[in-house]
Structure 1
Amino acid sequence: MLDIQDDLERVSAERNGQVTRNIQEAKNRRLVALGWAGGLGEFNQAIQSLRTASYIVIASTSGCRNHELANVMIGAHHSTEDDEGTVYHWLRSTSEKTDAGIHDWMIPESTVSAVRLMERWAAPYQAMIADEITRRHSINPTDPQITEAHKHRHALFLGVSATKNNLVRTLSGSTWNKNLKAFARSCGLSWNLASHQFRRKFANYAAHSQFGDLRYLREHFAHWSMDMTLGYAMDQEWGQHLDIELFEDIQFELEDIKSGVVSGWLGTSSLGGGYGRSIKQWQRDPKNLAIFKSHASMVKSIAESTSIRSNGHSWCTADDDGCVGNTMERTRCGGCDSSVIGVQHAGVYQGLFNNLKGLLDCKDIGEGGRQRVLRDLDRCRNVLEQLEFEPETADE
C-alpha cells in the first residue's frame, strides 16, 4: 500500500499545476494499472485505516498515552543490548503528564515495525508541512505559524485538518477517538474503542505477564523490578527516562490480580500441589485465621508476601522460574512444595491423564518409557484426587 502511495505521489508531482479532477483521474488509472480495483476513495480510506492500525499496535504494546504518541517523532526508536546479548527496543517521546518531559518506553519488535511503517507513511504529510513552512517564510519570516508548523514537522501521526484550513497537523485526541470507533466498526466489532483504554489494558497485560500469560511480556518484563530499580540494559542516554507512573499502574494491576488469586485459594474449593495443600491445612487451624482482623487483610497479607505466577497448569510461588516443572516436566508441579493447583487446572491434568493412558498401548517406547508414563500417570492421578476428581471416570 505504501508503494502504491509513493507511486500516486509521483503522479501528482508529474501533473503539478493541473486541476484536481485531472490529477484524480490520472491516479485512478494508475491504481487500476497497479491492481487496485476500489478506486482512489477506497484507497485513501485504506491508507487512513493503516494509520489507525499502526496506532493500535503501538498504543497496545507501549503503554503510551495518546498525547505521548502524538509527540512521537522520526528517530524515536532505539535499541540497547545487555551483557548477555539480549536486545531491548525503546520508544522515545515527550510526556506532558509530568514534569519529566522525555520518556522511554520498552517496546517489542512488532512495535518497531509499526513505527518504521509510520515513518514512511507520514513522509508525504511531513513534506506538505515543509512546503507550508517555506511558503509562510517567503511571505512573512516572522509568521508565528512557522513555529507552530515546526512542532509537527517530524511527527508520525499526521492528518489534514479541515478545521485548520486543511493544514497538516498532528491528530487530536477527539479525532483519534472517532477514527478508533470507525475502525472497530469496520472490523465488525461493537467495541466502543477509545484512546484512553490502551494504557490501562497495557498495564493489565503487563501484570498478567508476571503470571506467564503473555510470552513477549514475560520475556521483556522479566527484567522489570517492581521496586523501580530498573538498572539493566541502559546506555548513557536511552532507557534512563522511564515512565514511572506506568510501572505504578502495572504494580496496581498486579496487586489486584494477585489478591483475586489468593482470595480463590482461601475459598471453599480444594487445592492441589504442595503449597496448595499447605494452605488448606493452615486454613483449617482457627488460631492462624485469628491473626488477621478480617478476611480481606488476610488475603492482602498473603498476596503481598507471596511470589505468584501462572505457568498454565498451576500457580508457581517459587522465587524464580528456573524449575523444569514450568516447562519441560510439568507433571512435577503436583508434588512441588511451591505449587498451587486449583480446580481450574483440573482439565489440564485430566487431558494429560487420558493421553498418558493412550501411551501405555505403544509397543515401541521401551521399559524406560513405560515407567516414565506410569510415573506421570500417578502424578496426574494424585493431583486430580487432591482436587476431588475421579480421573478414571472423568472422561466417560
Structure 2
Amino acid sequence: MPDAVAEEIVNYALEELMICKVLAELYRVELRYPPPSYAYNVRVCETKKVLERLGWWSEGRKGHIRKTLEVRLQSAAYCLIALFTGMRAHEVLRIKYGLRNNWSEEYVEIDGGVKKMCFVLSETTKLEARPASYKWQAVPVVKLALMALEIGFKRYYDTGNPWLFPSRKDGVFGGKQALTKNALGHNIKTFCKIHDIRSKGIVWNLATHQFRKKFARTMVRQGLGIKALQDQLKHYDIEMTKIYGDPNLYVELQAEKFELSAELLEEFVGSQIPVIGGGAEELNAMRREFLGLTKKDRTLFLQSLPSKALVEQTDDGLCFYRANKALCGGDKSNCRPGDCNNAWMPAAGKKRTLLWRKTENDRMMGFFKSQPLKVHFLKSRNEEIQKLLGQLEKLGACE
C-alpha cells in the first residue's frame, strides 16, 4: 500500500466516523416510535426528517440508507484499527462491545520513566486451539474508532449482539453473529470506490492483509526493533516477522530512510525557520555556509549531508544522529534535545506544548512522590524543558 493511498484512507476514515451520530439518531427514532404502537409511515417520516437534517437523505437509496451507513462506518473504523495496530482481520472482528472489554490504558515503566500506553483487547485464533486473549498496543485515534462503533451499533448490542462489528446478514436485526471476513473484504473495497482512492490512475484494490503489511513497514521505518514488532504482530516465529510483507523489507526501508533524510535536510538547511535545540547553532552555521554557495555547489552540499548522518524523526523535531555527539547513547527514550548537538526543533508553536508537558510532569511527580527514582526522572525532564523554553525566549518565538 503506497503512503499516499494510506494517507487518503486515514483522512476519509476519520471523516466517516461521524456517521455514528446519524445511526444513533435513527436508533432514537426507533425507540421513540416502536411498532406496533406507531404506524410504519410515522417512523418513515421521522427517519426522513433526521436524514434530511443531517444531510444524508437520498430518494435513490432511501430503502437502504441505514445499511449503507452501517457499512461505511464499519469500513472506516476497521481501516483505522487495522492500520494503527497491525491486527489480523479476524482479531479485529472479535473485538467485543464496550470499552471495558476492548480498551485499556496503563502506565508502564520504561527505561526509568513512566509512559501511558494504550491497548486494544481482543482474541486471536491463529495457531490456537481456542481463542486466546491478547493486547495490541495502539494510539489514541484507535479509541475514536472503537467509540464510534459503540455509538453507531448500540441497537445491535441492546438486542444481544456482543460484537463491536455486528453482522447484519440478510438485513435481519437482532442476530448475534460478528461480521464475516468476506463481507468486510467487500466493504473496504467499496470504501475505496466511494472515495475514489487511486494509485497510478486506478482505484486501489484494497484488501484486509494490506493493513498488516503497511503497519509492519511503517513501524520499521520509525525504528521499531524486530523483537518488539514480533510481539505486536503476534508472530510465533521471528523469521516470519523478518520477511513480513517483503523479503527485502529492511533493505528497501534503509533506501527510503536515506531519501527521506535528504529531503528533511534540504528543508531545514535551505530555509530560515527558527530552530531550538542543542544543535541549533551548528544548523545556523550550515545555513550561512549554504547561502554563500552557488546553485550547483548547494546541490552538492545537500547531497553530502546524508553521508555524514541520517536524520531521525523525534517527538518535536529532528535528530541529525552522530554517535560521537549523541548524549542519549542511541536510546531515544534518553533524548536531551536542549543540550544534544544532534537535536533540531522548529521553534514556532512549541511554547504551549512544552508548558503543558512541564505541567503534566509536575502532576506525575505528585502522583509518584513516594518513588524517588521516578520523581528524579521527571525532574530531569522538566530541567530539559526549561532549557528549551529559555532558548525560545532568546529567539522571541514564544507562541
Question: If the length of structure 1 is used for normalisation, what is the TM-score?
Answer: 0.54
- The residue number in structure 2 matching 1:195 is 208
Q: 1:42 to 1:127 in 2, by over 3 A?
A: same
Q: State the one-letter code of the partner of 2:140.
A: E
Cα contact 1:349–1:384 (8 A) shared by 2: no
* RMSD (Å), alpha carbons: 4.2
Q: State the one-letter code of the partner of 1:187.
A: H
Map 1:68-107 onto structure 2 (within 5 A). Answer: 68-74=91-97, 75-83=101-109, 84-99=113-128, 101-107=132-138
Cα contact 1:203–1:246 (8 A) shared by 2: no
Rounded Cα–Cα distance in structure 1 between residues aligned with 2:156 and 2:229: 40
Q: 1:123 to 1:247 in 2, by over 3 A?
A: farther
Cα contact 2:167–2:180 (8 A) shared by 1: no
User: Secondary structure in 1 aligned to 2:248?
Assistant: helix
CA positional deviation for 1:196: 2.2
Rounded Cα–Cα distance in structure 1 between residues aligned with 2:227 and 2:208: 28
Cα contact 2:84–2:139 (8 A) shared by 1: yes
- The residue number in structure 1 matching 2:72 is 49
- The residue number in structure 1 matching 2:46 is 26
Query: 1:16 is matched with which residue: 27, 35, 39?
Result: 35
Rounded Cα–Cα distance in structure 2 between residues aligned with 1:386 and 1:181: 42
Q: Which runs of 5+ in 2 are unaligned?
A: 1-18, 198-202, 275-281, 306-399
The reply on whether 1:310 has 2:257 as its aligned counterpart is yes
Cα contact 2:265–2:302 (8 A) shared by 1: no
Rounded Cα–Cα distance in structure 2 between residues aligned with 1:382 and 1:26: 67
The reply on whether 1:116 has 2:142 as its aligned counterpart is no
CA positional deviation for 1:119: 2.0
- The residue number in structure 2 matching 1:144 is none
Cα contact 1:67–1:173 (8 A) shared by 2: yes
Q: CA deviation digits over 1:318-341, x for unaligned, max 9?
A: xxxxxxxxxxxxxxxxxxxxxxxx
Rounded Cα–Cα distance in structure 2 between residues aligned with 1:167 and 1:229: 37
Q: Which runs of 5+ in 1 are unaligned?
A: 131-152, 211-220, 231-238, 265-308, 315-344, 360-367, 390-396
Cα contact 1:68–1:93 (8 A) shared by 2: yes
User: Secondary structure in 2 aligned to 1:81?
Assistant: strand
Rounded Cα–Cα distance in structure 1 between residues aligned with 2:45 and 2:237: 49
Cα contact 1:104–1:243 (8 A) shared by 2: no
Q: State the one-letter code of the partner of 1:126.
A: Y
Q: State the one-letter code of the partner of 1:171.
A: L
Q: 1:66 to 1:383 in 2, by over 3 A?
A: same
The reply on whether 1:38 has 2:58 as its aligned counterpart is yes
Rounded Cα–Cα distance in structure 2 between residues aligned with 1:101 and 1:197: 24
Q: 1:246 to 1:167 in 2, by over 3 A?
A: farther
Question: If the length of structure 2 is used for normalisation, what is the TM-score?
Answer: 0.53
- The residue number in structure 2 matching 1:252 is 243
Q: 1:122 to 1:383 in 2, by over 3 A?
A: same
Q: State the one-letter code of the partner of 2:115.
A: T
Map 1:275-286 onto structure 2 (within 5 A). Answer: none
Cα contact 2:188–2:206 (8 A) shared by 1: yes
Rounded Cα–Cα distance in structure 2 between residues aligned with 1:246 and 1:204: 18
Cα contact 1:93–1:104 (8 A) shared by 2: yes
Query: 2:193 is matched with which residue: 185, 202, 207?
Result: 185
Cα contact 1:72–1:156 (8 A) shared by 2: yes
Rounded Cα–Cα distance in structure 1 between residues aligned with 2:194 and 2:174: 25
User: Secondary structure in 2 aligned to 1:88?
Assistant: strand
Map 1:228-377 onto structure 2 (within 5 A). Answer: 243-245=234-236, 249-253=240-244, 256-260=248-252, 310=257, 314=261, 345=262, 355=271, 373-375=287-289
User: Secondary structure in 2 aligned to 1:90?
Assistant: strand
Q: CA deviation digits over 1:15-68, x for unaligned, max 9?
A: 321454442233113433556543654455234212210111111111111111
Q: State the one-letter code of the partner of 2:175.
A: L
Higher gyration radius (CA) = 1
Q: 1:313 to 1:126 in 2, by over 3 A?
A: closer
Aligned residues: 260
Cα contact 1:63–1:246 (8 A) shared by 2: no
Rounded Cα–Cα distance in structure 2 between residues aligned with 1:169 and 1:181: 22
Q: CA deviation digits over 1:171-192, x for unaligned, max 9?
A: 1111111111111110113111
Rounded Cα–Cα distance in structure 1 between residues aligned with 2:23 and 2:71: 12
- The residue number in structure 1 matching 2:180 is 172
